[in-house]
Structure 1
Amino acid sequence: MITDAVIVGGGPNGLMLACELALAGARPVVLESLPAPSAEPKANGLLGQVVRMVDHRGLYERLSGNPGPPQPNSAYFMFAAMGLDLSLLEESPVYGLPAPQHRIVQVLEERATELGVEIRRGHELLGLSQGDDEVVVDVSAADRAYRLRARHVVGADGAHSVTRKLSGIGFPGITYDRRTTRTAHATVPVEWVDPGTGALTVPGHGTVLPFLPLRTEHGGFAYAPFPGHPPLVSTTEWDRPGTDAPPSLDEMRASVRRVLGADLPLGPPGGEGPHVLRRLKGGNTRVAERFRDRRVFLVGDAAHVYTAGGGPGLNLGLQDAINLGWKLAAAIHGIAPPGLLDSYETERRQAALRMVMYSQAQAALTAPGSDVTALRELFGELLGHRDTVQHLADLTAGSDIRYDMAFPDAHPLVGRFVPEMELRTPGGTVRLAELTRTARPLLLDLTEDASVAGVPAAEGWDRVDIVTARSGPASPAATALLVRPDCYVAWASASPRPDPADLDGLRTAVQKWFRPAEPARSG
């Protein structure tokens, strides 16, 4: 028996991809080398465009514990430890969803199980070989070794990806060896914390705002009092690598003293663990030579790593999974248009390179030295301009990405993530995000006479869900949209009644993304 897809790695990215494949009717198997989900503290939540994406899959309320749609941060954020005044913007693109990584894994695993995904924990990839029609993978489990045959294999197995190495895909980039980051859960003096704002006042230094990184001439400092957990304190220093001894609170206190120039009494954390106490030397910024090798694909950290991890990293990796899922499912079902699988790398490499730039620019702007301080002073002046704030907020959120849909003079929404809108349908009022939870292509007809929904069919039309509705007053200036399963707009019109050229564009878009490839002719 041949499996539709083997996903190597049962973290957030692998599980999200498994959910996407299952929604599209494919049968993936997830191999995870760990016997149980890791409780090690890693990312503390989701940041940016992916928060809206999980809402479009009906997962936001599960992850946040709050009813209703996500709301953007419209007040304040940071770039390179400098403030972004989001109140300058008409609409902030920066969304946040605080949720520890183990909770994200738990929710995605529950969802994958509901969709019938088979998850094999304690199963490790040892080898793979590709043929014309399948990939054979060698797997080791506690009680046996075995082989699986799959149509495709996806490596979602992290920065040290075995899948990537076995496929012979290079991982070029830069290794930084000057920086050392120290992080610890610890208690701080209660009287130093403002109960209203959560700000920490350190005598001899001043006020440190919660969750907003601080840069000094000697390094970086951050104080993050996550609800229900001891505060998370971290420092970044240059050319102070420490020792090979296990990290300690004494080491953490000394690092804070060097960075802030003042003492911060840190006590051991209370409550149930696991608690963070770690020292990380250096860092890597790398992008795989290719995201695909015939029938093998890479997503998340297996394809790209960079120094600004955590929420932005999951933003990138989870969207890799969502971009690949519907395309891979179409290939599995034999209905992928020509070039569809190749578009995965084209689109997601663009996003990865943007995030590499984001990471490296922040690293340069937070380094020590008077020259960097002067650069920050100039940059700080630029942050008083709305356009600069908008540009950096879009970059932070990943909402600056616009895929090339090959339409000259396209509507401004084409190639971008679909905007949220409230719709009045014959069945009642609904948010657009609620219409995309099946992960199927969607044609949204907002014209007064439903003239788009009645367009003569094109090949691939049977794969598209058609919804006629009226939009609310705050909706964008579009009268019809074709939305891909990953919620990016493939075609749009602003005409009250689209003309023949508009409708030809719609047919072209449907055929480009959803028309099955013609079978190869023999002889």
Structure 2
Amino acid sequence: MYDVAIVGAGPVGLFLAAELALADCSVLVLEKDHEPASPFKALPLGMRGLNAGSVETFYRRGMLTELLNASGADAQQVGAHPDAHHSPAPRDISHFAGIRIDAANIAPSALSFRLPGPAMEPIMTSLEAVGRILEARATGLGVQILRGAALESVTQDGDTVVARAGGRDHRAHWLVGCDGGRSAVRRLAGFDFVGTEPLFTGYVAQATFDDPQKLDLGFNLTPTGMYLRTPFEGHLGMMDFDGGAFDRSQPLTRDHLQTVLRRISGTDVTLSEVHLASSFTDRAMQTTAYRNGRVLLAGDAAHIHSPLGGQGLNLGIGDAMNLGWKLAATLHGTALEGLLDSYTAERHPVGAAILDWSRAQVATMNPGPSAPALRQLVRDLLDTRDGTTHVFSNTSGLTHRYDLGSDQPLVGRTAPDFRFDDGTRLGDLLHEGQGVALDFTPGRNLHAAAARWKDRIRYVPGPAGNDLGFGALLIRPDGVVAWAEGQEPDTEAFRHAAIRWFGAPTP
């Protein structure tokens, strides 16, 4: 029997599997597809954007170099000015409803707890590249992946979950559904899934055009919808506001795609051949809880929305990073009661906010007689410093703050990448998935307090070149600050925070 069975070998499932294996849990991944490769995962159809928060997550687990190499990204661009002492603004923060955002407009206050480091920028990658990195990491840590094993049933009792897949029963103490927007785990385990119905059918295709010059590059909002043409030859995206009627209801023929494209673009462009195509909608749904007994959900299994703004993959990676260490601590018996429930408490609001973010973009793009006036208003607002900063705060993955019950403004945020005098950075200290106690001015008994959790918390003394005025911090395995104080830290307050997040100290 395994500690955890994960259904779904996409990026979220593989990232979670690696997190659990890093914490010495036995993990089985069940995947219905026989092969990992797919043209819908490779470029251009599998193109995805990782925001700076997700890039930071890969950095904190020692996978940044592999990510950059696999994605064809320039490490100098991503890690610009790693030894600077200011907090540089990112150069690209994507768009809102197809409206490009000027990163130079970000207010400095949005970066007040950021420090320069190797992971400061979003990157473009592909599902294929991310999946290849994460599968190698997971299997290297001992994760077992069983392909061609479609889920058939889920049953659970007080101690065990049985997932029947590929004609066999697979037993585990916990089961996590990472099996996408049409999650079988979600359905079979009885999760409530609520939200809003779609306004459009979206299309993504790889095609050959007789006259591609008739279509402008980039996002193009029109009186009847939106089309997107990227620099990849023949790569096309469309949004047709038909109430989602066509999605997966009929074959995606060349004639249909050409008819939709001509109507939306207002041109007589000709599609001579369609090589690959798929459809999607902006249906925005979320489970009411991310846990039902011994079954949990992460990624698209827990929440679905339109791909506008590219937040889906980032949201799922955040789920996996938040859940992995908490589930491992629960399995090892070190977690206090309620730690695992903090997964839903922390991640459900993040998912709900992204769903609303998606809905707002769809509403802005929805054609109609009032659409031009609404779009102009939104464009004007986004052109202000407050508007740009708001978009950055909602898309970068760097500024979210969990409510951990503290008034200290850094607590609940992702930790700055502090740099020690020997060149070590905080990101280096998180590679093993442990908590970290940073003591910038040693000698006040914090070492003795932290030593009681030496199997779970790594104590790191010494001055940092950019300590932001803090005396000491306790950082969770997911890189979130759990406790922070000034130059005279209270060891009793440290103990309370350590017990809350890491359980009782070792006797």
Report if TM-score (shorter chain) is over 0.5.
yes
Amino acid at match of 1:292: R
Equivalent residue for 1:198? none
Change (3 A) 1:509 1:88: same
Cα deviation code 1:55-113 (max 9, x no counterpart): 11122221221446556741563101222111112477984222211221111111111
Q: Residue in 1 aligned with 2:84?
A: none
Give the share of equivalent positions with the same residue, in percent: 35
Is the alpha carbon distance of 1:268 and 1:339 closer, same or farther for their aligned partners in structure 2, counting shifts above 3 Å? same
Change (3 A) 1:363 1:335: same
TM-score between the two structures when normalised by the length of structure 1: 0.84
Equivalent in the alignment of 2:179: 157
Q: How many residues align?
A: 478
Q: Which residue of 2 aligns with 1:184?
A: 205
Note the 1:137-156 alignment, pairs <5 A.
Answer: 137-140=163-166, 145-156=167-178
Name 2:148's counterpart in structure 1: 122
Specify the alignment match of 2:96 in structure 1.
79
Alignment of 1:340-379 (within 5 A): 340-379=339-378
C-alpha deviation, 1:251, in angstroms? 3.9
> TM-score, length-normalised on structure 2?
0.86
Output aligned runs, 1:36-75, within 5 Å: 36-42=35-41, 43-48=46-51, 49-65=53-69, 66-67=74-75, 70=79, 73-75=90-92
1:170 equivalenced with 2:192 (yes/no): yes
> Which residue of 2 is the match for residue 196 of structure 1?
none
Aligned ranges 1:373-522 → 2 under 5 Å: 373-407=372-406, 409-410=407-408, 412-424=409-421, 428-447=422-441, 449-451=442-444, 453-457=446-450, 460=453, 462-473=455-466, 476-493=468-485, 495=486, 497-499=487-489, 502-516=490-504
Measure the CA separation in 2 of the matches of 1:113 and 1:306: 30
- For residue 197 of structure 2, give the secondary structure of its aligned residue in structure 1: strand
**Aligned Cα RMSD in Å?**
2.8
In the TM superposition, residue 438 of structure 1 has moved relative to its aligned partner by 0.7
1:5 is paired with a residue whose SS is strand
Determine if contact 1:458/1:507 at 8 Å carries over to the other structure. no
CA distance in 2, matches of 1:459, 1:64: 38
Residue of structure 2 in register with 1:237 after alignment: 240
Quick check: 1:453–1:468 contact (8 Å CA) kept in 2?
A: no
The structure 1 residue matched to 2:122, chosen from 80, 89, 96, is 96
Say whether the 8 Å CA contact 1:334–1:516 is kept in structure 2: no
Counterpart in 1 of 2:223? 217
Please give the alpha-carbon distance, in whole angstroms, between the structure 2 residues aligned to 1:471 and 1:189: 60
Aligned with 2:203: secondary structure?
strand
Provide the rounded CA distance (Å) in 1 between the counterparts of 2:448 and 2:369.
64
| CA displacement at 1:510 relative to structure 2 | 0.5
**1:83 aligned partner, one-letter code:** R
Structure 1 unaligned spans of 5+: 193-201, 270-274
Letter in 2 for 1:153: L
> Once structures 1 and 2 are overlaid, which stretch shifts more, 117-126 or 449-458?
449-458
What is the aligned partner in structure 2 of residue 10 from structure 1? 9
Q: 1:293 to 1:418 in 2, by over 3 A?
A: same
Amino acid at match of 1:180: T
Distance 1:46 1:378, change over 3 A: closer
Is residue 211–residue 270 contact of structure 2 (8 Å, CA) maintained in 1?
no
Residues 187, 268 of structure 1: 8 Å contact kept = yes
- 1:118 is displaced (CA, Å) by 0.8
Hey, what's the Cα distance between the residues in 2 that align with 1:220 and 1:505? 54
Amino acid at match of 1:216: T
Report the Cα offset of residue 326 of structure 1.
0.4
- The residue identity in structure 2 corresponding to 1:5 is V
Q: Give the Å deviation of 1:309.
A: 6.0
Could you tell me how far apart the structure 2 residues matched to 1:310 and 1:87 are?
19
Aligned-partner SS, 1:235: strand
